[in-house]
Amino acid sequence: MLKKFLPNEHVKSIFDVHPVVLRKKGIKGIITDLDNTLVAWDVRDATPEVIQWFKQMKEHDIKVTIISNNKQERVKIFSEPLDTPFVFSARKPLSHAFKSAAREMNVKKEEVAVIGDQLLTDVLGGNFAGFYTILVVPIVKTDGKLTRINRKIERRILSYMRKKGKITWEEE
């Protein structure tokens, strides 16, 4: 069970996720989290760097869908200017939103990469759905109300796995 919390890859930020590398792995679709993955949870709009990252993915023919447990207003205001499909109130880690996002992008299971900053929602959900998972370091150390409880559990899982030698990445 704990294995399901382990991402396939761990990177500092989305800017360490490069389209050419993804294409080599056969990835054609990205399902990404929003809060603390693309921007800090309390930042309304995409930064120029994020806009550029989306553009790069498009240029390499990689589709991107944003799926977030956050509410409609937040996700819509952020995603629409990027001209990218989005799912709000996604209820991650449940598989439904992940699977329907992949279906909408018309990509196969093994062609999907999930990117997110949380083990309990993004990584667990992505692994359940059978996708390639990439964990990023949260952009800021603070979280929205709902996430704080998840973080407590996450810290326990991480320290357990670190002790077991299952995690090799550096602590911030």
Binding site for Mg ion (CB under 5 A): 33, 35-37, 117
**Residue 68 Cβ vs Mg ion, minimum distance, rounded to whole Å:** 8
* Residues 3/138/150/94 CA torsion (nearest 10 deg): -60
Provide the strand spans (E) within the chain: 9-11, 29-32, 63-67, 86-87, 112-116, 132-136
Minimal distance in Å, beta carbon 3 to Mg ion?
21
Nearer to Mg ion, 28 or 86 (CB): 86
CB of 110 to Mg ion, least distance (A): 24
Question: Cβ closer to Mg ion: 35 or 111?
Answer: 35
User: Nearest-CA neighbor of 120 among 99, 139, 135?
Assistant: 135
Asked whether 121 and 69 are in contact (CB, 8 A), the reply is yes
Least separation in angstroms between CB 142 and Mg ion: 12
Identity of the residue, 105 or 115, whose beta carbon is nearer to Mg ion in the bound complex: 115
CB atoms within 10 A of CB 64: 22
For Mg ion, the closer of residues 28 and 46 by Cβ is 46
